[in-house]
Amino acid sequence: MARRSSASASAGESTIPPRDVSTMVLLPLVASKVDVPVIGAGGFLDGRTMAAAFALGAEGVQLGTVMVATQESPIHDNWKQAIVAAAETDSVLLNRHRAPAVRVLRTERTNALEFDTSRNAMDDMVMF
């Protein structure tokens, strides 16, 4: 019989799928409920944030957005520069009340979509 070998705790700081529960709350909760290694996701970007994840009970972390901005990433340099220049308040949570919810960089377009519950914001996004 196969056994699940790890658990993922993807919290509110995560890009996809974001949650209404923060990493500070979710990671220790998941770690206390399972007997497998927990991988934290959402808001981790350097050694300090990784150390915090380990203190909260994670055995590892998933790095997402920070990896997009690396030299090795095939993403266009304009996006990399926008990510690096972004402040902690420069993301917007779209589709909060429908699936799929997604966290994106704040722009005029995403600001207009942030609180529009009448449609799926993903219909207005260009997907590659």
Q: Are residues 21 and 62 in the same domain?
A: yes
Q: How far apart are CA 47 and CA 37, in angstroms?
A: 19
Structurally, how many domains does the chain consist of?
2
Task: Give a yes or no: residue 123 inside a domain.
Answer: no
What pLDDT score was predicted for residue 82? 94
Task: Please report whether residue 21 resides in a domain.
Answer: yes
For the chain, percent helix, then strand, then coil, each to nearest 5?
Answer: 35, 15, 50
84: containing domain: 75-117
| CB-based contact 80:65 (threshold 8 Å) | no
Please check whether residue 2 lies inside any domain of the structure.
no
- 55 and 80, same domain (yes or no): no
12 and 58 assigned to the same domain: yes
pLDDT digits (tens, 9 = 90+) for 3-34: 556 566 665 565 555 556 788 888 899 999 99
Chain segment 83-94, per-residue pLDDT in tens: 999 998 898 888
pLDDT digits (tens, 9 = 90+) for 29-83: 999 999 999 998 888 889 999 999 999 999 999 998 899 999 999 999 999 999 9
Q: Is residue 51 part of a domain?
A: yes
